[in-house]
Amino acid sequence: MRRYLLSRCGQAVPVLFGVTLIIFLLTHVALGDPVRAMMGQRADPEVMARIRAEYGLDKPLWHRYVLYMGKLLVGDLGYSYRQGRPVSQTLAERLPATVRLAVAAMVVAIVLGMAAGTVAAVRHNTAADLLMMTFSLLGISTPVFWLGMMLILLFAVSLGWFPISGYGDGALGHLVLPALTLGALQSGYIARMTRSALLEVLRQEYVRTARAKGLSERVVILKHGLRNGILPILTLAGIGLGDLLVGAPLTETVFAWPGLGRLLVAAVGNRDLPVVLGATLLFALIYLGANLVVDLAYALVDPRVRLTE
Partner 1 sequence: MAQRILFTAGLILWASLLFGEGTLPRRGGTYHYTLGPSDPPSLDPAHITDTVSHAVASELYDGLVSLDRDLKVQPAIARRWVVSGDGRIYTFDLRPEVRFHNGRSVTAEDFRYSFERLLHPETQSERTWILEKLQGAREFMAGKASTLAGIEILGPHRLQLTLERPFAPFLALLAYPAASVVPREETARWGRQFSTHPMGTGPFRFREWRHDDRVVLDANPDYFQGAPYLDRIVFRVIPDEMTRFQEFKAGRLDHSDIPTGLFQMVRDDPTLSRTLFSGPSLGINAIQFNLERPPFRGNPKLRQAFNHIVDKEAVAAVILEKRVVPARSILPPGMMGHNRDLQGYPYNKALATRLLAEAGHEGGKGLPSLTFHYNTGLVNRKIAEFVQGMLREIGVTVELREMDWPAYLNLLDRGDVQLFRLGWLADYPDPENFLTVLFHSRNRGSKGNLSRYANSRVDALLDRADAGLSPLERTRLYREAEKIIVEDAPWIFLHYYSTDVLIQPRVRGLREQISAMDSSPTLGNVQMRMVWLETEGG
**Where along the sequence are the contacts to partner 1 (CB under 8 A)?**
31-34, 36-45, 47-48, 50-51, 54, 79, 82-85, 90, 93-94, 145, 149, 152-153, 156-157, 163-167, 252-256, 258, 262-263, 266, 269-271
Query: Nearer to partner 1 by C-beta: 258 or 289?
Result: 258
Query: Nearer to partner 1 by C-beta: 28 or 262?
Result: 262
Dihedral sign computed on CA atoms, order 94, 234, 13, 270? negative
CB neighbours of residue 17 within 10 Å: 12
Cβ contact 179:103 at 8 Å: no
CB neighbours of residue 20 within 10 Å: 18
CB of 55 to partner 1, least distance (A): 8
CB of 79 to partner 1, least distance (A): 7
d(CA 264, CA 33): 17
CB of 173 to partner 1, least distance (A): 13
Query: In sequence order, which residues have a C-beta less than 8 Å from that of residue 292 and are 6 or more positions away?
Result: 5, 8
CB of 289 to partner 1, least distance (A): 24
Query: Nearer to partner 1 by C-beta: 166 or 173?
Result: 166
Phi/psi at 34 (5° precision): -70, -25
CB of 258 to partner 1, least distance (A): 4
Query: Nearer to partner 1 by C-beta: 36 or 64?
Result: 36
Cα angle, residue 26 at apex, residues 74 and 47 outer, rounded to 5°: 80
CB neighbours of residue 3 within 10 Å: 10
Query: Nearer to partner 1 by C-beta: 165 or 196?
Result: 165
